[in-house]
Amino acid sequence: MARVGVFYGWVVAGVSATVNSLAWSVRSTFALFYVALLGEFGWARGEAALGYSLSWLCLLVFSPLAGWLADRWGPRLVVPIGGLVLGAALALTGRVETLWQYYLAFGVLGAAGIACIMMPAAAIVGRWFVRSRGVAMGLISAGSSASAIVFYPLNTWLIVSFGWRDALAVYGLLVAAATVPLAALLYRDPEAAPRPVVAAAADATEPTWTLRRALATHRFWAVFVMWGLGVIGYQILTTHQVAHARERGFDVATLAWVFGLGGAFTVAGNLLGGALSDRWGRGSVFALGSLVGVLGIAGLAGLGGPADLPLLLLYAVSQLGFGMRIALLTAIPADLFPGRHLGAILGVANGGGGLGGFVGPFLGGWLFDATGSYSLAFTVAALAIAGSAIAAWVAARGRPRRQPGEGGSERVRALRREGPPRLRRGGGERGGDGGRPEPPM
């Protein structure tokens, strides 16, 4: 019996999950260093938070650039560059003395490093998978969500042991030392996989999704809005959830284990959402996750005091829904715009998320200052989550049917890499999604 090897796309997905976790940990543990900066320099909270917001806003520039570079040079070069840049940004942040130095090191240079890691990491996985794309994208999203579970205690220990400045230097060294060899040694271009004869024949007639062509479609802008509104809603919540719960009388120890539980549900949601979307469709699963998330927001907004712990637990469990959504943010555009320009297309679409990440935290705080409570802010968050679900539905439902000969090369190559199809007794491919092959046994 011939030995069947592991499909190399799963190795690529594992690498992307790991480097995504390293890059996203800079965001998920920012609060630790934020408190240290406030204590060291006595900056106003808005001034200190602006560095974090800049790291989102700069994605409008760096995400498209990182995607374009990945399409041109490949993730084996761009992701290690991102690891070095992000590591340097963290080390330099640990040496700042002024606000402008902090904004430049963390806000600008940090954004460049994050973009050069995460955009190519998502694009390469999107090109390796077709049949199991949702599962693969869920895996790399789970890596991002799990970053807080791993790096929050690690960075806490580093700060306590070495002080925040040296902790950032060690942290930056760890990010660079892990990212560079993983990406440089283990990433492979899917185009190096064996090509079936029909794929070569289809190349002559296959229309190529370029960035310009994608920008001319309503589906691309639906994806942009999906990212933007989704991140606005999510960042309002994650930025202000602790402050709201503390004002309602919950102690720090309770919040630590409840929000830790929420993180675990987010990871589970990433994996569940990706897997379900391969069966039920991206738009349907995104809508289901949004509904669960909005129910959780209602629980958070309804907190009156420590006796309302069940409502806080409802919010923690609802992170399952948010995780289901996160897994599809890259899967949907990867479905719509496959090909060798996916990195650039993903990068521009992610600019919507960068804009949302800049607006969300500030908007939540401004609404609190204007009204004296988070009720309106959480209502806006729920509306933004619902709006992003509508945009995702438009994008996923708006995908045109492929005409004969259209898009054949890219799909056939990807399916060939994932494994041979099972055949019916009559010799034809098993039905469902255009003759989608079953996984090799």
Say whether both 329 and 391 belong to one domain. Answer: yes
pTM assigned to the model: 0.79
Distance of CA 320 to the CA centre of its chain: 15
Number of domains in the chain: 2
- Under the banding of pLDDT at 50, 70 and 90, the label for residue 5 is low
Residue 5 lies in a domain: no
Most confident of the ranges 231-240, 277-286, 337-346, 386-395: 386-395
Dmax (CA) of the chain: 75
Q: How far apart are CA 297 and CA 318, in angstroms?
A: 8
**Which ranges of 197-281 does DSSP label H, i.e. alpha helix?**
197-202, 211-215, 218-247, 252-280
Residue 230 lies in a domain: yes
Look up the domain containing 349 and give its range.
206-415
Q: In this structure, is the dihedral angle defined by the CA atoms of residues 66, 70, 72 and 73, taken in order, positive or negative?
A: positive
The token pair at 307 is 């006796």
Q: Does residue 423 sit in helix, strand or coil?
A: strand
The DSSP bridge partners found for residue 429 are: 423
CB atoms within 10 A of CB 44: 11
96-144: pLDDT as tens digits: 999 999 999 999 999 999 999 999 999 899 888 888 888 998 899 898 8
Q: How far apart are CA 62 and CA 67, in angstroms?
A: 8
Q: How far apart are CA 417 and CA 129, in angstroms?
A: 8
Say whether both 46 and 139 belong to one domain. Answer: yes
Sequence-distant (≥ 6) Cβ neighbours of residue 410 within 8 angstroms: 206, 338, 339
Sequence-distant (≥ 6) Cβ neighbours of residue 124 within 8 angstroms: 12, 16, 70, 75, 187, 189, 190
285-339: pLDDT as tens digits: 999 999 999 999 999 999 999 999 999 999 999 999 999 998 899 899 989 998 8
Residue 3 lies in a domain: no
Q: What percent of the chain has pLDDT over 90?
A: 51
Say whether both 184 and 294 belong to one domain. Answer: no
Q: Residue 85 belongs to a domain with what CATH number?
A: 1.20.1250.20
Q: Does residue 429 sit in helix, strand or coil?
A: strand
The DSSP bridge partners found for residue 423 are: 429
- Average pLDDT (195-204) is 39
Whether residue 435 is predicted with pLDDT greater than 80 in this model: the reply is no
Say whether both 237 and 355 belong to one domain. Answer: yes
